[in-house]
Amino acid sequence: MNTQIQSIHFKADKKLIDFIERKLSKLETFHDGIIDAQVFLKLENTNVKENKTVEIKINIRQTSFIQTETSISYEAATDLAVDSLKTQIKRHKGKVETH
């Protein structure tokens, strides 16, 4: 899967990028038609501790899934987003197979 990771207003370190790519590669076990993924990492300018936002867009043949999560760390937000995307992909695959 081709993965593009963009960090907005900061430089993401190699460890974070590897973590995100590893998590996204696990989605391929649920659907073999994943074309690519785009990830946007944002740091919200608020006083709240949960100010790190991860937005993931997955492109599958003729369909796209977008999930945005905010948490204390980028790793936690990535976990939440990937879990939600996994559910969306499974649901979509079930609908496609029944038609």
Q: What is the pLDDT of residues 48-99, one digit of tens each?
A: 889 999 999 999 988 999 999 999 999 999 999 999 999 999 998 888 777 6
Beta pairing, strands 2-8 & 34-43: parallel
CA distance 82 to 78: 6
59: which strand partners? 36, 64
Q: In terms of Cα–Cα distance, which of 34, 27, 88, 78 is closest to 56?
A: 78
For residue 17, give Cα distances in angstroms to 14, 21, 24, 89, 91.
5, 6, 11, 22, 27
Please tell me whether residue 47 adopts helix, strand or coil conformation: coil
So what's the pLDDT on residue 14? 97
Record: fold of 2-98: Double Stranded RNA Binding Domain (3.30.160)
So what's the pLDDT on residue 8? 92
**Tokens standing for residue 4:** 């593009």
Q: Assess whether pLDDT exceeds 90 at residue 24.
A: yes
